[in-house]
Chain A
Amino acid sequence: MGIYLFLVCIVEITLSATSFLNIKNHHIISIYTYLEPLLIVNIYRKEFANRTKTLFLLLFAVIWILLVAVKEFHPENLSLKITQHFALSCSIVTCALHWFYLRLKLLDRPKLLTEGFFYINIAFLIYFSGTIFIFMFSTLILKSTSQTQNLWLINSILNIILNILLAKGIWLQKAEQTSTF
């Protein structure tokens, strides 16, 4: 989890710096798009701890890498880009909903609000369900600058919420580990 947040931090800083210096940064975004879902899959793999679910997550990761790789060779293919974002968002939202389902089924966590992963799960659910439409269709209205800016503003707000919730989740998880020892 810490690696994921560290990577997000590094990518955001690098992207801000490169855009400020007017340097092309699409390669950084490309690398990040490979790594992000793999890290998220790894986070959920630890939580689910089930062979079938792990295989499903691995399958998702493989499909994701294939989609990104195909997109690299056909950067102008919009339907491929839409499919890629849709697949990522749907898979992570499914993982988040499944985590909630497990909590209701197993009733193994007495207080969800003190549970670190609850916040991490909320973060992924809010961000990926909130940005599913933005990532899928924003490329279609790329020329309309003011409207696109508004949409990217929503994305930025959701990104801030995501990172705050992730930080809160990690903080609580660390406290849980400390109290266990």
Chain B
Amino acid sequence: MASESGTDLYLLIFSGTALMLLLAFVIILFVYLYQKKLYQQQSTLQLIENNTQNALLTASLEAEERERERIAMNLHDEIGASLNLLKLNLNQIALENKNSRAGKEISEQINFLDSTIDLLRNINKELLPPSLGNMGIIIALQELFEVIKQKQSIRFDLKTENFQQDKICPKMELHLFRIIKELTNNAIKHSLSKHIRVKFIMVQQSLMVNFNYDGSGLAQHEFEKKLLQSGGQGLKNIQNRINFLNGSIFFNKIDDQNSLIRIEIPLNEKDN
């Protein structure tokens, strides 16, 4: 009788153990397969979200650039041409009345018109740097730095290494130009920088830009924090443009007197 109850207990333990093990295996299998499925779904959703965001970003940046181009063209072709024609006519009138008081006044107004035409030209350059399309990003940046140097005593060093202009597509050139312009403005405005060094390096399939400046800049975590805050539109634009170019940007605060910003952009053959 005792042996029979022992066998029953033995069978109970054995079947209980088998059942528990089966349950454990089923749970492990379920968790593994379900986690895999959920993760794939999440990755797909993330991909769709990223693609949508990129498409929106691309559309907004392209619309912005198209609008800038349109305004620049209108200013140049309509207002610029009209002002030049007005200047020619006034010159003609001034020549015809050069000895009269009215002629002298017209000459003064021509000087004022000249400064207006210069102002319009500068606005045009701001909207769409003419040398960017014709001469390339390096010349465009040199011109930009020259303009800044005329107003403020800042030293610029622009260097290149293995740089090939033909490997950069016009879109990349334009966005890169705007990024460097924004970084330059920030360095002058916030870090009171007096010496800015920009170096373009082409390494295999990517373009690296090192933007060094004296003065206390941002560290990477500060940059990321500012992106999440409500202000700092300039930095957000930089990040958007970097995302548009599928590149990366890294802010390095070397010390209180030196900062480095490193940009890396992949060079895509089909863009050229």
Minimum CB–CB distance from B26 to chain A (whole Å) comes to 11
Cross-chain contact B21 with A130 (CB below 8 angstroms): yes
Cross-chain contact B27 with A130 (CB below 8 angstroms): no
Q: Secondary structure at chain A's binding surface: helix, strand, loop or mixed?
A: helix
How many A residues have CB within 8 A of the partner chain? 28
- Give the chain A neighbours of B27 by CB distance below 8 A: 97, 100, 125
Looking at A5-13, A23-31, A66-74, A136-144, the stretch in contact with chain B turns out to be A136-144
Cross-chain contact B31 with A100 (CB below 8 angstroms): yes
> Does residue A154 face the partner (Cβ distance < 8 Å to B)?
yes
> Does residue B71 face the partner (Cβ distance < 8 Å to A)?
no
A100 to B34, CA, bound (A): 11
A140 to B7, CA, bound (A): 11
Cross-chain contact A147 with B17 (CB below 8 angstroms): no
A110 to B35, CA, bound (A): 9
Cβ proximity bits B224-252 to A, threshold 8 Å, 1 near / 0 not: 00000000000000000000000000000
> Does residue A103 face the partner (Cβ distance < 8 Å to B)?
yes
> Does residue B39 face the partner (Cβ distance < 8 Å to A)?
yes
Cβ proximity bits B73-114 to A, threshold 8 Å, 1 near / 0 not: 000000000000000000000000000000000000000000
- Give the chain B neighbours of A126 by CB distance below 8 A: 21, 24-25, 28
Candidates B14, B17, B23, B38; contact of A131 at CB < 8 Å: B17
Cross-chain contact A151 with B36 (CB below 8 angstroms): no
The closest CB in chain B to the CB of A118 belongs to B32
- Give the chain A neighbours of B20 by CB distance below 8 A: 129-130, 132-133
> Does residue A112 face the partner (Cβ distance < 8 Å to B)?
yes
Minimum CB–CB distance from A164 to chain B (whole Å) comes to 15
A143 to B13, CA, bound (A): 15
What is the count of residue pairs linking A and B with beta-carbon distances less than 8 angstroms? Answer: 73
Cross-chain contact A107 with B24 (CB below 8 angstroms): no
Cross-chain contact B35 with A137 (CB below 8 angstroms): no
The closest CB in chain B to the CB of A108 belongs to B39
Cross-chain contact B13 with A104 (CB below 8 angstroms): no
> Does residue A1 face the partner (Cβ distance < 8 Å to B)?
no
- A107-B9 contact given A122-B28, A154-B17, CB 8 Å threshold: no
- Give the chain B neighbours of A150 by CB distance below 8 A: 10, 14
- A112-B36 contact given A100-B27, A133-B20, CB 8 Å threshold: yes
Cross-chain contact A133 with B21 (CB below 8 angstroms): no
- A137-B21 contact given A100-B31, A110-B39, A143-B6, CB 8 Å threshold: no
Cross-chain contact A129 with B14 (CB below 8 angstroms): no
The closest CB in chain A to the CB of B17 belongs to A133
Cross-chain contact B21 with A107 (CB below 8 angstroms): no
Candidates B3, B16, B35, B42; contact of A144 at CB < 8 Å: B3
Question: What are 15 A-to-B residue pairs whose CB atoms are below 8 Å?
Answer: A100-B31, A104-B35, A110-B39, A112-B31, A112-B35, A112-B36, A126-B24, A126-B25, A129-B24, A130-B17, A130-B20, A132-B17, A140-B9, A144-B3, A154-B14
Report the 5 A-B pairs with minimum CB-CB distance, sorted nearest first: A133-B16, A147-B10, A100-B31, A129-B20, A144-B6
